[in-house]
Structure 1
Amino acid sequence: MTSAGKKGMLHDRPVYIAVASGGRFSGANAHQPDFLTSYLKTILASIGLCDVRFFTIEGTGGRAESVELSRRIANQELRRHFNSLGLKHACENLD
């Protein structure tokens, strides 16, 4: 505990979290609130990990066409992020 509040014992580093959901919890078609993201951010921050990035694929319980579109969007997001870090090899097996 510091004068500024709690401080986690771990040194901050990037944390990547993949989330798959049968329903939708973001955007106009959300059927439920997103409790997971804020909960995980809070828990990880309490141990010192604040650089948290979520990659999500939602609606996996829906129609096959919707699932495929969600998968393509998630793959594009992964590629964009890791390519920006110069880690193109991290996305070689996405398709």
Structure 2
Amino acid sequence: MSVDGNRFVGKVVIVTGGGSGIGAATAYRFGREGAAVVAVGRSEDRLKEAAADAPAGARVLTRVADVSEESSITVLITDVAEEYGRLDVLVNNAGG
């Protein structure tokens, strides 16, 4: 298994619950592997902190959304698909 490699270069990943804990660690790992990561959570402040703490070279972007609301998820997926033209991995980490 590659560590800090490039096996996800060109891939787009959404990680829900990406503002802290396992979600943030997952986002960092995908980012270190070359993915464009969209970390999703309800707290903009926590997301910004998590993105700021991302390892050098990791591309972690943030989106505020409440995954318990279907309309929020629809908007999120549509926005990511329009912005990147694809979605390769979805990590449903948010707890509720």
- Class of the TM-score when normalised by the shorter of the 2 chains: 0.3 to 0.5
- Which of structures 1 and 2 has the bigger CA Rg? 1
Q: Which has the higher strand share?
A: 2
> If the length of structure 1 is used for normalisation, what is the TM-score?
0.39
> If the length of structure 2 is used for normalisation, what is the TM-score?
0.39
